[in-house]
A and B are shown apart, each in its own frame.
Chain A
């Protein structure tokens, strides 16, 4: 008896629709993705400067921002949180000491509105010194010539 060998036929997919699917996924993710959003509710108009220091992208950082609201009160933003009053800010900075212990080289990225008076900036600096956050980077906009 001759056994008839079953001829296995390769299954072929129709690939015509593949680019469509890939593009659909691409567009979906392009639309959905948001680049790191500004962590502040209020716009901060940072000063311009001619000099810039190189900033290592790998440094671990803490984000701190200062600006004024409509009532001319100073508003502090720290790591996504929004605070009013220097004492509240102090309490929250002291909570970040764990991060400092984990990484002594941690940098504080400070965004300050250019209209803010230096007395407010200096108060913040004193708090940072008190909690041993010595490395700071004042964020700026480069002067456009």
Chain B
């Protein structure tokens, strides 16, 4: 009896895994007060969340699949050898939920573009690239995200 109980106990102790926490990681930039830098319009993808928590692009609401939309833009910029620059403008009254939703879509599309290029450039899935391949791909696909707040 005791043997069986211990066996079960040890079995469940070994197989149980506690639920891992999930997060979206971001690297904040150092504080900057200087003049705004100039980035050519052709490599900026400007996304806006308005006060009603709608995601807008160049003043128009995006009706189609947002992730596909961002992904298409990024991949055409990278195709034209431009380093994409994603600008996220948030209305001060937009809520955190819409921000995280957009951030997740942006991150997913960056991931998709990266794996797409890993296949076309090296014929290998992104997670199986060698260190050198990974470095050169990351260099080609350096995608910056900037965030700012606006008031209406």
User: A: which residues have CB within 8 A of B?
Assistant: 18-19, 22-23, 26, 35, 47, 49-53, 55, 57, 107, 109, 112-119, 121-122, 125-126, 128-130, 132-142
Contacts and interface: CB of A to CB of B under 8 A. Distances in A.
Contact of B28 (A19, A23, A119, A128): A128
Nearest to B90: A118
B43 interface: no
A118 B23 contact: no
Contacts, number: 119
Contacts of B29: 129, 134
A47 B31 contact: no
Please report whether the interface of chain A is mostly helix, strand, loop or mixed according to DSSP. Answer: mixed
Interface in B102-139: 103-105, 107-108, 111
B14 interface: no
B111 A51 contact: yes
A105 B35 CA distance: 29
B99 A137 contact: no
A55 to B, nearest CB: 5
B90 A51 contact: no
A118 B31 contact: no
9 contacts: A47-B97, A50-B105, A53-B107, A55-B21, A55-B22, A117-B92, A117-B93, A129-B31, A133-B28
Contact of A118 (B20, B27, B92): B92
B30 A134 contact: yes
B31 A130 contact: yes
Given A19-B2, A129-B30, A129-B31, A139 B95 contact: no
Contact of A55 (B5, B23, B49, B105): B23
Given A134-B30, A136-B28, A52 B23 contact: yes
A118 B92 CA distance: 5
Given A19-B5, A134-B30, A49 B24 contact: yes
B93 A138 contact: no
Contacts of B7: none
**Nearest 4 CB-CB pairings of A with B:** A114-B97, A49-B104, A19-B2, A137-B23
A114 B96 contact: yes
B30 A47 contact: no
A142 B108 CA distance: 14
Given A112-B96, A140-B100, 6 more contacts: A19-B1, A52-B22, A118-B149, A128-B28, A129-B28, A141-B22
